[in-house]
Amino acid sequence: MSSTSMDPFILRELAKLDPAVPFRSSTDHLHHTWAKTFFSRPELYIRPQSIPEIQQLVTLARRCRRRLVTVGSGHSPSDLTCTSSWLVNLDNFDRILDIDPSGTVTVEAGIRLGNLGAQLEKHGLTLPNLGSIDSQSIAGVIATGTHGSSLRHGLLSECIDSLGLVLANGQFVRCSPTNNIDLFRAGLVSLGALGIVVEVTFKARPSFNIAWRQERYSLGRVLSEWSTGLWTTHEFVRVWWLPYEKGAIVWRADKTDQPLRAPPKNFYGDSLGYHIYHNLLALSSYFPRILPWVEWFVFGMQYGFRAGSTVTEAVEPAREGLLMNCLYSQFVNEWALPLEKGPEAISRLSAWLNGDPTTGIPFSSKDLWVHCPVEVRVSDTTLNDKPRPFLDPTSPDGPTLYLNATLYRPYLRDPPCRRRYYEAFEWLMRDLGAKPHWAKNFHTLGPQELARTYGEQMDAWMKVRNEVDPEGMFVGEWHRRNLPLADDGLPLLEREHERRRPGVCGVGDGVEWVGDRRQALPLAMEGAYTEPDSPGTATSEESFDLLARGEASILLEKSGS
Ligand SMILES: Cc1cc2nc3c(=O)[nH]c(=O)nc-3n(C[C@H](O)[C@H](O)[C@H](O)COP(=O)(O)OP(=O)(O)OC[C@H]3O[C@@H](n4cnc5c(N)ncnc54)[C@H](O)[C@@H]3O)c2cc1C
Ligand SMILES: O=C1O[C@H](CO)C(O)=C1O
């Protein structure tokens, strides 16, 4: 534990807790998202290794009136994991606790999917499905509704049997479809706002290999095969749409017993192409109108210049073959909509990007040039007979399409077209009844519209949230911006104070998120807070109000200190 610059108030509260339980914290951590879009400097960065440590840090946070944020691998592209308060990371709480003969596995919730996959492999097991990467923690994947691309699978969390959480009162609780079902449904997309997920039990599958094949299609062919096999002839299918080329790269895979066969070595694609694309994207920030040419050149070099001209195939273990190289820092704006709306969504966006003024999208695309690919993926969450997450953005009554408008940030510099592109894209998505992926960079919805969109599901999620975290220990500005929280009743909710340049080298256009807890903290005087249930003391809400207004002396009197 580094305690050199820790607030003396925290040290005194810590001294009242069990000295045998370590408090592993540091005070100088600079947090950032994977894409280095957002940075923040938590007051404490805490890396517990056991459930008693997690329970203790929650108790300490409650007594010190601090917000807690749990971060997995920081791959959520938004400011969801930013805080100036206490940041908890479970990278050192990552063991496999149990594997039973039926393939039911229990893990500590900080485990990353890549590490989990490697360990499961030794037992002949694997996860049934993956997204584009396996760097995320299992808890992080569950918390945001992460998905892959397959009509034979739903969200990655569809294999989850039960969750164990430490709640704001320090209690450890388990939930599953048969025990605390509402907490389970809320916890399946928790957005970090319920408590700290510490244990995850899921059903693994016997490990399998996939045979994949990738080829270039025309957009016309993608749309004409949309309902006649594009998504259904293979178990895993994903499409990268090239909007100016009016083309697509279609990647499809099935389970196979064939022997492993590595993808062909490609001098251009492996390394040279990576750097060429990066530098062309950087150049396009100054000369955006070169982007259609960049799309033609880069994707032509990599995948062939004509539809059907180059086919790439391989056989790989699923836990490698399902992944892809996500290239560079990026903004991602991804929405879920009914699969049958795909042709309309793509045709309208394609027409708008290519200058057609009749799409009904009320923004001009004049002089606007965007990056590619637009990711086109699918899932079907109706196949899962377990209870749905309350905040599941996918279609409840049929297959789901995801459209992901990626904008790269070459050398960590923001591209010029983001605002208008994303406003238009989000307008179209809302027009088609789509819902945003919770982890990503959506902007134009607010709590009211999201509450309306989710209806009773949002009410049910909010009810659980307010019950398990009545003081708002696990929420901040991101939640306030997107969820119908009554923030005046949540004394620990962390408001945003400002955004500023991080003041360190090499962060490009990254932004430092600063929360308001820092302002309130110096007022957290010795003895100022007492647990709300102690007789004759101020309630926790009153305590925070008094502290926030600078009237701590009243509080001291009231609590009899
Ligand atoms: C390169 C890249 C590729 C991606 N590919 C895909 C994809 O294919 N499909 C897709 O759907 N998404 C994808 N994502 C998004 C990503 O899967 C999600 O953002 C996921 O939540 C990241 O997991 P994480 O461990 O990094 O969680 P973080 O981003 O660190 O946290 C996400 C949320 O989980 C909460 N959380 C984390 N751990 C806990 C815990 N123990 N208890 C309670 N709450 C917790 C956090 O508080 C936060 O609210 C991608 C992102 C990137 C950057
Ligand atoms: O968020 C995501 O980033 C990658 C695209 O580069 C991906 O597949 C996501 O999902």
Please indicate whether residue 406, judged by its CB atom, sits closer than 6 Å to ligand 2: yes
pLDDT tens digits for range 529-544: 455 443 323 333 333 2
Q: Give one DSSP letter per residue of 430-454, joined into a string.
A: HHTT-EE-TTS---S--HHHHHHHH
**C-alpha closest to that of 387 among 312, 457, 480:** 457
What one-letter code names the amino acid at 156?
A: L
CB within 8 Å of 74: residues ≥ 6 apart: 31, 32, 33, 34, 81
Token digits for 90?
Answer: 């479970």
Q: In whole angstroms, what is the distance from residue 276 CA to residue 58 CA?
A: 48
Residue nearest to atom 40 of ligand 1 (CA): 197
Q: What pLDDT sits at residue 486?
A: 82
Ligand at minimal distance from the CA of 409 is: 2
Q: With 70 as the cut, is the pLDDT of residue 526 above it?
A: no
Provide the 8-state DSSP code for 424. Answer: H
Q: What pLDDT sits at residue 187?
A: 98
Q: What pLDDT sits at residue 487?
A: 67
Distance of CA 364 to the CA centre of its chain: 30
Q: With 90 as the cut, is the pLDDT of residue 259 above it?
A: yes
Provide the 8-state DSSP code for 121. Answer: H
Ligand 2 pocket: which of 404, 407, 437 to mutate (most atoms <8 Å of CB)? 404
| Atom number of ligand 1 nearest to Cα 77 | 53
Q: What pLDDT sits at residue 69?
A: 98
Provide the 8-state DSSP code for 229. Answer: I
Indicate the pairing of strand 96-99 with strand 104-108: antiparallel
Higher-confidence position of 263 and 308: 263
Q: What pLDDT sits at residue 530?
A: 53
| Atom number of ligand 2 nearest to Cα 327 | 6
**C-alpha closest to that of 258 among 314, 199, 320:** 314
Indicate the pairing of strand 496-500 with strand 311-317: unpaired
Token digits for 494?
Answer: 């962390």
Q: What pLDDT sits at residue 245?
A: 98
If pLDDT is split at 50, 70 and 90, which confidence band does 390 have? Answer: very high
Residue nearest to atom 5 of ligand 1 (CA): 132
Q: In whole angstroms, what is the distance from residue 341 CA to residue 400 CA?
A: 9
For residue 147, the CA-to-ligand 1 centroid distance in Å is 11
Residue nearest to atom 9 of ligand 2 (CA): 132
Indicate the pairing of strand 196-203 with strand 160-166: antiparallel
Which of helix, strand or coil describes residue 463? helix
pLDDT tens digits for range 2-25: 556 899 999 999 999 999 999 999
Residue nearest to atom 11 of ligand 1 (CA): 146
Which residues have CB under 6 Å of ligand 1?
34-35, 69-77, 80-81, 90, 109, 131-133, 136-137, 139-141, 143-144, 146-147, 190-192, 196-197, 326, 437, 439
Q: What pLDDT sits at residue 528?
A: 47
- CA separation (Å) from 217 to 98, 241, 250, 425? 45, 9, 7, 23
For residue 73, the CA-to-ligand 1 centroid distance in Å is 7
| Atom number of ligand 2 nearest to Cα 132 | 8
* Under 8 Å between Cβ of 195 and 464: no
pLDDT tens digits for range 353-381: 999 999 999 999 999 999 999 999 999 99
| Atom number of ligand 2 nearest to Cα 402 | 10
Q: Is the peptide bond preceding residue 415 cis, with omega within 30 degrees of 0?
A: no
CB within 8 Å of 256: residues ≥ 6 apart: 208, 209, 210, 211, 315
Q: What pLDDT sits at residue 338?
A: 98
Residue nearest to atom 27 of ligand 1 (CA): 140
If pLDDT is split at 50, 70 and 90, which confidence band does 558 have? Answer: very low
The helix or strand, by DSSP H or E, that contains position 313, with its residue range, turns out to be strand 311-317
Ligand 1 pocket: which of 36, 70, 465 to mutate (most atoms <8 Å of CB)? 70
Residue nearest to atom 8 of ligand 2 (CA): 132
Tally Cβ neighbours within 10 Å of residue 501: 11
CB within 8 Å of 455: residues ≥ 6 apart: none
Please indicate whether residue 314, judged by its CB atom, sits closer than 6 Å to ligand 2: no
If pLDDT is split at 50, 70 and 90, which confidence band does 308 have? Answer: confident
If pLDDT is split at 50, 70 and 90, which confidence band does 444 have? Answer: confident
Please indicate whether residue 136, judged by its CB atom, sits closer than 6 Å to ligand 2: no
> Mean per-residue pLDDT for 315-323?
98
pLDDT > 90: percent of the chain: 88
For residue 440, the CA-to-ligand 2 centroid distance in Å is 9
> Mean per-residue pLDDT for 450-471?
98
Ligand at minimal distance from the CA of 482 is: 1
> Mean per-residue pLDDT for 173-182?
98
**C-alpha closest to that of 326 among 407, 417, 419:** 407
Helices (H) and strands (E) in the chain, counts: 18, 23
| Atom number of ligand 1 nearest to Cα 110 | 41
Q: In whole angstroms, what is the distance from residue 220 CA to residue 225 CA?
A: 9
Q: With 70 as the cut, is the pLDDT of residue 222 above it?
A: yes
Secondary structure, 3-state, 251-301 = EEEEEECCCCECCCCCHHHHHHHHHHHHHHHHHHHHCHHHHHHHHHHHHHH
Among 232-246, 346-360, 519-533, which stretch is predicted with the lowest mean pLDDT?
A: 519-533
Q: In whole angstroms, what is the distance from residue 334 CA to residue 435 CA?
A: 9
For residue 239, the CA-to-ligand 2 centroid distance in Å is 12
Residues constituting the chain: 561
For residue 494, the CA-to-ligand 1 centroid distance in Å is 20
Please indicate whether residue 249, judged by its CB atom, sits closer than 6 Å to ligand 2: no
Indicate the pairing of strand 44-46 with strand 86-89: parallel
Residue nearest to atom 6 of ligand 2 (CA): 326
Q: With 70 as the cut, is the pLDDT of residue 553 above it?
A: no
Q: In whole angstroms, what is the distance from residue 530 CA to residue 524 CA?
A: 11
Q: Phi, psi at residue 404, to the nearest 5°?
A: -120, 105
Please indicate whether residue 326, judged by its CB atom, sits closer than 6 Å to ligand 2: yes
For residue 140, the CA-to-ligand 1 centroid distance in Å is 4
- Complex prediction ipTM: 0.99
pTM of the predicted structure, to 2 decimals: 0.93
Q: In whole angstroms, what is the distance from residue 238 CA to residue 149 CA?
A: 6
Secondary structure, 3-state, 319-374 = HHHCCCCCCCCEEEEEEEEEHHHHHHHHHHHHHHHCCCCCCCCCCCCCCCCCCCCE
pLDDT > 70: percent of the chain: 91
If pLDDT is split at 50, 70 and 90, which confidence band does 267 have? Answer: confident
**C-alpha closest to that of 244 among 293, 280, 287, 305:** 293
* Under 8 Å between Cβ of 107 and 123: no
For residue 395, the CA-to-ligand 1 centroid distance in Å is 21
Q: What pLDDT sits at residue 110?
A: 98
Token digits for 357?
Answer: 């003024």
* Under 8 Å between Cβ of 38 and 78: yes
pLDDT tens digits for range 393-408: 999 999 999 999 999 9
For residue 192, the CA-to-ligand 1 centroid distance in Å is 10
If pLDDT is split at 50, 70 and 90, which confidence band does 266 have? Answer: confident
For residue 159, the CA-to-ligand 1 centroid distance in Å is 17
* Under 8 Å between Cβ of 263 and 269: no
| Atom number of ligand 1 nearest to Cα 165 | 42
The pLDDT mean for the chain works out to 92
Q: With 60 as the cut, is the pLDDT of residue 453 above it?
A: yes
| Atom number of ligand 2 nearest to Cα 326 | 6
* Beta-sheet strand order (sheet of 209-218): 311-317, 209-218, 247-256, 236-242, 374-379, 400-408, 330-338, 435-436
Please indicate whether residue 134, judged by its CB atom, sits closer than 6 Å to ligand 2: no
pLDDT tens digits for range 27-52: 999 999 999 999 999 999 999 999 99
| Atom number of ligand 2 nearest to Cα 332 | 1
Among 49-63, 342-356, 421-435, 481-495, which stretch is predicted with the lowest mean pLDDT?
A: 481-495
**C-alpha closest to that of 336 among 293, 390, 368, 379:** 379
